[in-house]
Structure 1
Amino acid sequence: MVHLSWDQYFMSLAYLSAHRSKDPSTKVGTTLVNDQHKIVGIGYNGFPRGCPDDQLPWSREGAFADTKYAYVVHAEINAVLNSNIDTQQSRCYTTLFPCNECAKVLIQAGIKEVIYHEERKNEATQASRRLFQLAGVTTRPFQCRLQIKLC
């Protein structure tokens, strides 16, 4: 029988949450955890609550208002909004390194560490890294291959 580390367990939950996303191209999940290893928030990327998935675009190209980028709430923001208790000094397990907008929200929420699995090399990531460094938020890559088989 395999025993999961806390990192493996919480990143697995982030990946499981990502499967709730209806985004056909990018599925991201996030789990927020306090110092007692209790989950304080969980989220995935998707449209705002109450907005029908079939009435907004999932496209990545075109005019801004015709793409998903105008409407999708990122997993990290949803995790903070869905938090059930204070997130101060919590850790963020996320399947994709946070963009600069999510970095600002995580910093404001008091997150102390970000553990990520994948990272995109772009300007948003550079801005996020700068914000995290200035705010004293540590970041580290998740160093494990996960194999989650869903029925």
Structure 2
Amino acid sequence: MVSSKPGVLREPCAGEDRTRTRTQVGACIVNQENKIVGIGYNGMPNGCDDDLLPWARSAEDKLDTKYPYVCHAEMNAIMNKNSADVKGCTMYVALFPCNECAKLVIQSGIKEVVYLSDKYHSTPEMEASRRLLDLARVPY
């Protein structure tokens, strides 16, 4: 479902380092009482210096791009939760989740995904994501 609450999607990005040229994605997990129980944004894993890893979107060698290293907003929101679990919660996210994040959403028990943009809609990863979410009956 495309978000009707865009302010919710801005919250997770508040602390993000906006000086880098990178995809800026935030995710926010909200419980049944509409209380935030987890937030995250795209970034390198804890303890890994941002300046020692690449942020390029393309390079001759894939290891010189950000893709093998960056943790997506959805993963960080789930890992940074402040409750025992997120079963039955709703995830608000700036971009439609990729297939890897869809697996995490499903496994964590999140019941719904609300997104702001689906700009990579026709990529294989997003098609796989929709297939997974549909099979698991997680509305989006």
**Which category of TM-score, normalised to the shorter sequence, fits these structures?**
0.7 to 0.9
Quote how far apart the aligned CAs of 1:64 are: 1.5
**Percent identity at matched positions?**
47
Partner residue, 1:71: 69
Q: Deviations over 1:71-92 (max 9, x none)?
A: 0000000000000112001000
Higher RCO (C-alpha under 8 Å, 6+ residues apart): 2
Matches within 5 A, 1:1-150: 7-16=5-14, 19-20=16-17, 23-62=20-59, 63-85=61-83, 86-119=85-118, 120-121=120-121, 122-139=123-140
**In structure 2, distance between residues paired with 1:22 and 1:109:** 32
Give 5+ residue unaligned stretches, structure 1: 1-5, 140-151
| TM-score, length-scaled by structure 1 | 0.82
Contact 1:15/1:95 (8 A) holds in 2 = no
SS state at 2:14 partner: helix
Counterparts of 2:18 and 2:72, CA distance in 1: 10
List alignment gaps of at least 5 residues for structure 2: none
Q: Separation in 1 of the partners of 2:111 and 2:46?
A: 28
Equivalenced residue count is 133
Q: SS in structure 1 opposite 2:5?
A: helix
**Mapped partners of 2:19, 2:111: distance in 1:** 29
Distance of 2:30 and 2:124 partners within structure 1? 27
Aligned-pair CA distance for 1:39: 0.7
Superposition RMSD in Å: 1.7
Task: Tell whether the 8 Å contact from 2:89 to 2:111 is kept in structure 1 after alignment.
Answer: yes
**8 Å Cα contact 2:10-2:26 kept in structure 1:** no
CA contact (8 A) 2:6 2:116 kept: no
